[in-house]
Structure 1
Amino acid sequence: MLHTLKDLEGFAIHAADGDIGATKEFYFDDKQWVIRYLVVETGHWLASKKVLLSPISIKNVNLEGKTLTVSISREQVKNSPDIDTQKSVSRQHEVDYLGYYGYPPYWGNTGLWGGYSSPYMIAPGYSSVAPQPDEGIDMFADADAIRHRNQDRHLRSSLAVMGYHLEATDGDLGHLQGMLIDTDTWAIRYLIINTSNWWLGHQVLIAPNSIKEVSWGTSKIYVDMTQQQVKGAPLFDPAIPFNDE
């Protein structure tokens, strides 16, 4: 089952030594369309500082209880690299962050998370009967991390992109209302589009592979579909759980 980003806001983060805080927003990779970090507001114990939480650290998602159980501790969060969540997160920041927690880089391979489809599969201590990436791939990932230490990794704030206008090949589509997330992989499976005035009262789902371009300067998303094709896309009703299987 898929869940909206809105549904995942306000989740309490449970660590072994106490609560860390609650989710406020998300940073996503606009090339692979996957959530790379959750932005967590820590509350009074850390002066309400906002910190990043990688899905690699998530052990359990409790949707009914609105909690995420993580493998890291409050003490680790307290001493983690200081990253200003009000600014863009560079590759250098990611290298420092992932290195601090002992996580491998997720880039340098064809999967969403290194050579795998799920962030949990690259977490320290994970064991699987599935074949492991060979040493050459690991060496490539390490070299790639060093080569791109000072480059941005196309990470975008989920809050900043909401409300962006969408353009079909033949006219206006409406605006971005939300996103549907697969919490097994943290991939963005669909964008939720409010069709506004041209098709009043509808919300439709568009897969990220239909997106031609995102213009961050003009706050527009260009979609490789016609308005008629969008009318044939799956409809979204927030009152009904969506399952695309």
Structure 2
Amino acid sequence: MLRSIKHLYGDRLIASDGELGFVKDFYFDDRNWVIRYLVADTGSWLSERLVLIPPHALGIVERAGQRLQVHLTRRQIEDSPSIDHHKPVSRQYEESYYQHYGLPFYWQGDSLWGITGFPPRNLAVPPQKRNLSDVALGYAAGPDAHLRSTVAVHGYQAHGKHSRVGQVTDFVIDDQSWAIRYLVVRTNPAQADSEVLVPIAKVSGVSYAESSVRVTCTAEEIRQSPDYHCRPDGSCLDPVQTTAKDLTPSTPEPRVAESKHQTSNAPVGITAAAQVRKLPEVSSDEVATSAYFTFVRQGRQGGHDVQHWLDAEAKLRALAASPPAARSEAIDQRSAR
């Protein structure tokens, strides 16, 4: 699901053992356009340091009552490597941070999160050491890990091929991979409803010295971009999947007149869409774990993370929809491996 970053600011953070604080900011990787860390405001607790939470600890964003569950304890966070508010997040710091939580390094591998396209959680992966692949990727050259603040970039001017085209007002992310899919650009500063979605593929660079973002579009192409639609819960309509029905207020479905030619066994008035059985829900943790072990079984070859995820999701949904006896047998077979 796509979500607005701006709508997450200020949400309460709940650790496994109590209140943690609030969402203050996000740090994103401006090379791969993905959120790497949530920045927490912990109030008087740990006020002297920067408190970072990895997406691995959040999984899919669930904003019940504007709360985000963090699958870490306060003690784990307190014992994590400390970093000053005003210092950049270096690669050296990230190494110690990832080792503290036992997470695989996202900069080692061919996928968005190193070994997979999604931030794996609770995987027993031994800490890794820096090797020559870091140098090949250009990550070990300096102290900066190319992490930028979403709060800081909010308000940057967007410049197109020939002129200024608007102002950055939000980021839209995929809440499973934490990849940034779109920039939200307001084409008319005086009109709040003039916001459009600009695909990240159209962003050619960010100038922090000039507080600007460059896109490979003309002003007219920007104006013709899909409109930005964000629901009250922070979820966003995906222009790739949006239909006209998504943009109109919900109205009662018209009753279907009874006909002697009707072949459906559904009661009269039930639409075809309502007859479609909803697919069983599976947790992202289960999918990520299954996809990871597929990655391992296939020799840790990169570039197949999306296919691994889709295969794992389909397999788990089929298992959830199967009769209890068949489900139990499949679990027994999996345990015996």
Bin of the TM-score, shorter chain as denominator length: 0.7 to 0.9
Aligned equivalents of 2:150, 2:123: Cα separation in 1: 30
Aligned equivalents of 2:71, 2:6: Cα separation in 1: 24
Tell me which residue corresponds to 2:93. Answer: 93
Aligned equivalents of 1:74, 1:102: Cα separation in 2: 17
Q: Given the superposition, is the C-alpha separation of residues 162 and 113 from structure 1 closer, same or farther in structure 2, using an over 3 Å criterion? A: same
Aligned equivalents of 2:189, 2:24: Cα separation in 1: 30
Matched, 1:163 2:155: yes
Q: Given the superposition, is the C-alpha separation of residues 238 and 42 from structure 1 closer, same or farther in structure 2, using an over 3 Å criterion? A: same
- Matched AA of 1:242: C
Aligned equivalents of 1:200, 1:154: Cα separation in 2: 31
Aligned equivalents of 1:108, 1:33: Cα separation in 2: 16
TM-score (normalizing by structure 1): 0.84
Greater shift in the superposed pair: 59-68 or 159-168: 59-68
Matched, 1:124 2:122: yes
- Matched AA of 1:70: V
Tell me which residue corresponds to 1:131. Answer: none
CA contact (8 A) 1:28 1:155 kept: yes
- Matched AA of 2:176: D
1:83-133 CA-to-partner distances (Å, cap 9, x unmatched) read 1233321111111111111111101222111121111x2x23379xxxxxx
- Once the two structures are superposed, the pairs formed by residues 53-132 of structure 1 within 5 Å of their partners are 53-59=53-59, 61-119=61-119, 121=120, 123-125=121-123
CA contact (8 A) 2:105 2:128 kept: no
Instruction: Between the two structures, name the one with larger relative contact order (CA 8 Å, sep ≥ 6).
Output: 1
SS at match of 1:95: helix
Q: Given the superposition, is the C-alpha separation of residues 169 and 47 from structure 1 closer, same or farther in structure 2, using an over 3 Å criterion? A: closer
Aligned equivalents of 1:19, 1:142: Cα separation in 2: 38
Q: Given the superposition, is the C-alpha separation of residues 60 and 191 from structure 1 closer, same or farther in structure 2, using an over 3 Å criterion? A: closer
CA contact (8 A) 2:36 2:54 kept: yes
Match of 2:145 among 153, 156, 164: 153
Tell me which residue corresponds to 1:6. Answer: 6
Deviation at 1:3, TM superposition (A): 1.4
Q: Given the superposition, is the C-alpha separation of residues 9 and 66 from structure 1 closer, same or farther in structure 2, using an over 3 Å criterion? A: same
RMSD over aligned Cα atoms = 2.8
CA contact (8 A) 2:111 2:117 kept: yes
Deviation at 1:164, TM superposition (A): 0.7
Matched, 1:28 2:28: yes
Tell me which residue corresponds to 1:132. Answer: none
SS at match of 1:221: strand
Note the residue ranges of structure 2 that are not aligned, 5 or more in a row.
Answer: 242-337
Deviation at 1:149, TM superposition (A): 7.9
CA contact (8 A) 2:48 2:84 kept: no
Tell me which residue corresponds to 2:333. Answer: none
- Matched AA of 2:86: Q
Greater shift in the superposed pair: 30-39 or 223-232: 223-232
Aligned equivalents of 2:67, 2:167: Cα separation in 1: 30
Tell me which residue corresponds to 1:183. Answer: 175
CA contact (8 A) 2:50 2:82 kept: no
CA contact (8 A) 2:24 2:39 kept: yes
Bigger helix share:
2
Bigger strand share:
1
Q: Given the superposition, is the C-alpha separation of residues 149 and 72 from structure 1 closer, same or farther in structure 2, using an over 3 Å criterion? A: farther
Tell me which residue corresponds to 2:207. Answer: 215
Note the residue ranges of structure 1 that are not aligned, 5 or more in a row.
Answer: 128-137
Deviation at 1:237, TM superposition (A): 3.5
